Amino acid sequence: MWFVALPEFGHARPAMTLVGYAHDVLPVGVVVPDATFFSLPVRNRDQVGAIRWWRDEAVVDQVYVSGTWRRRHVATALIYAASAYHQLHGWPGRLHSDGRRTSLGEQLVAGLRHPARIAVLDEVMPPMDPEVTPENR
C-alpha cells in the first residue's frame, strides 16, 4: 500500500489519518498529502483501508479495512505504517488502544504481536462499514 496523509491539527485533540491504497500509481510505502492525491488517477472509493489516531496521545481512534481487503493483513500494515509515521514526526508515545473497538477490531486484536499496547475491551463501538447506497457502489 501507499498512503494519503490527512492531518487534523486545528482541533483541540489533534488527529492524524493515513488512508491506504493498493493502486500501482505510486510505490509501496509512499505517503503523499491530500493535494497530491487529487491529481492522481485514483478515487476515494478505491481505498483499501484507513487508520486514525490522536497525535498527542498516540491513541488509535479508528482502523477501517474495506470488505474486499479483509483477512489479508491490511489492518496490521496500517498499524505499522501509522506507528512509523508517528515516530518519524517525533510525536509523543507509541500507538496503542484505549479499549474501544468494534467486534471486527476485537478479532484483529486477537492476532496482534504487541498485546501490551492493547487495552482490555471496555466499549464495543458500532461497525464502521458504510451503508451501501447507489452513490457509493
Residue 80 resides in a domain: yes
Cross-strand pairs, 15:
8, 54
CA distance 57 to 14: 9
Residue 102 resides in a domain: no
Residue 43 resides in a domain: yes
Which tens digits make up the pLDDT trace of 27-54? 999 999 999 999 999 999 999 999 999 9
Q: Is the pTM of this model over 0.95?
A: no
CA distance 33 to 131: 27
Max Cα–Cα distance, the chain, nearest Å = 42
Which tens digits make up the pLDDT trace of 53-105? 999 999 998 889 998 998 898 998 999 999 999 999 999 999 988 877 776 76
Please tell me the predicted confidence (pLDDT) of residue 133: 46
For the segment 24-29, the average pLDDT, to the nearest whole number, is: 96
Using alpha carbons, select from 93, 100, 105, 108 the residue that is nearest to residue 124: 100
Grid cell 447506497 in the structure block, residue: 133
CATH number, domain with residue 41: 3.40.630
Which tens digits make up the pLDDT trace of 97-129? 887 777 676 767 666 666 666 777 776 777 766
Q: Are 58 and 96 in contact (CB under 8 A)?
A: yes
Residue 60 resides in a domain: yes
Could you list the beta-strand ranges (E) of the chain. 2-8, 15-21, 31-33, 49-54, 59-65, 100-101, 123-124
In this predicted structure, the answer to whether residue 6 has a pLDDT above a threshold of 70 is yes
Domain that holds residue 54: 2-96
